[in-house]
Amino acid sequence: METKAESIIHPLPSDPLLAKEEEFWRVTLPSDYKDFIKVSNGGIPERRSFPCHGHTHLLTRFLCILEDPTHHELGLFDIDAIKTQLDERLIDDEDLIGVALLPVAALFSGDFLCLDFRERRDSPSVCVWDHANSGEFDPVCYPVADRFRDFLAMLEPVTP
């Protein structure tokens, strides 16, 4: 998958930073996602449209993982920064420790593409989180792909 080189957010995440985030989120990130983010952190893909739930969605940019997003000009695209803003709207169990839905890309509509750990903690699927219809402890999601690599293969060029 091609990413616009100038859009990639540096520094790229290291293996120790990814391990720290996995421990904090209490998940194991899939290897295809880790391989992707280590080279395309926060990048804008060349192919950005994909079908889901009867609509064509437009990915504006992938989210990034930064050591300290508060001291980075693009820190607002950091996964933890987005996760904090969405907070209880990404979980359906208020007693959950860790994450259920992990936002990994911003979509044009205000929705987010997420890794969905609710059914399979060791192998998350990919879904679109619907911001307009989600409430506190009531996330509304639509399945997109069984695996992150399957999602990347779905991306198409934006048509005028």
Q: How many domains does the chain have?
A: 1
What CATH number has the domain bearing residue 150?
3.40.1580.10
| Domain assignment present for 117 | yes
pLDDT for 92 equals: 84
Q: What is the mean pLDDT of residues 28-52?
A: 97
Q: What is the mean pLDDT of residues 48-57?
A: 95
The answer to whether residue 95 scores a pLDDT higher than 90 is no
Supply the range of the domain harboring residue 45: 5-154
Q: How confident is the model at residue 94 (pLDDT cuts 50, 70, 90)?
A: confident
| Domain assignment present for 61 | yes
Per-residue pLDDT tens over the stretch 97-122: 889 999 999 999 899 999 999 998 88
CB 142 within 8 A of CB 128: yes
Lateral strand order in the sheet of 49-52: 49-52, 55-62, 101-107, 112-116, 125-129, 141-145
| Domain assignment present for 109 | yes
Q: How confident is the model at residue 53 (pLDDT cuts 50, 70, 90)?
A: very high
Give the strand pairing for 55-62 and 49-52: antiparallel
| Domain assignment present for 160 | no
Considering the chain, what percentage of its residues have pLDDT values greater than 90?
A: 87
DSSP state of 144: E
| Domain assignment present for 159 | no
Q: What is the mean pLDDT of residues 16-43?
A: 97
Residue whose entry in the numeric block shows the structure tokens 């911001």: 131
